[in-house]
Amino acid sequence: MSTRAYVGLGANLGGDLRQTLLSAVGALDALPQTRLAAVSSAWRSAPVDAGGPDFLNAVAALDTDLEPLALLDALQGIELAHGRERPYRNAPRTLDLDLLAYGDVTLDTPRLTLPHPRVAERAFVLRPLWELAPGMWAQPADGAWASQRIECCGPLLG
């Protein structure tokens, strides 16, 4: 039985960021034991706790039979195939894929925390996630309403 997983996509380095995200979506859809269920609109956002150009962000919904750590490994493989380097924390990147949620699984290991611990702090994740799963983070652990945070994100790229 497949599990619905949500993956945040972001890029702020390279030529055509929209093409980068489209390529990453294609790679997600090609993962074994995985089906691409939906993709949000693309949203532009300024870097958070980092420098560099603006990001283009989206969220993909996957139905997968991969276990969470196997899915994380696959996501990191897609990042590497797109030239991702990690010279320092929050460095600009050619592609960033974050496993935001994996069904109802909660996990806290050195490699992976589920749900992603900073989802409720990031309008650039909440807004596209809201398109795919309205209300999913309606009441984050910190007590702030996600719908209020979504209002600060913009503008939608056509």
CA distance 100 to 114: 7
Q: Among 148, 120, 121, which Cα is nearest to 136's?
A: 120
Choose the catalytic residue: 93, 122, 127, 149.
93
Choose the catalytic residue: 73, 98, 104, 122.
98
Task: Give the DSSP per-residue string, 27-94.
Answer: HHHTSTTEEEEEE---EEE--SSS-SSPEEEEEEEEEE-S-HHHHHHHHHHHHHHTT---SSTT---S
Choose the catalytic residue: 84, 122, 127, 149.
84
Active-site residue flag, 84: yes
Choose the catalytic residue: 96, 122, 127, 149.
96
H-helix or E-strand containing 100?
Answer: strand 96-102
Active-site residue flag, 18: no
Active-site residue flag, 16: no
Active-site residue flag, 35: no
- Catalytic annotation, residues: 84, 93, 96, 98
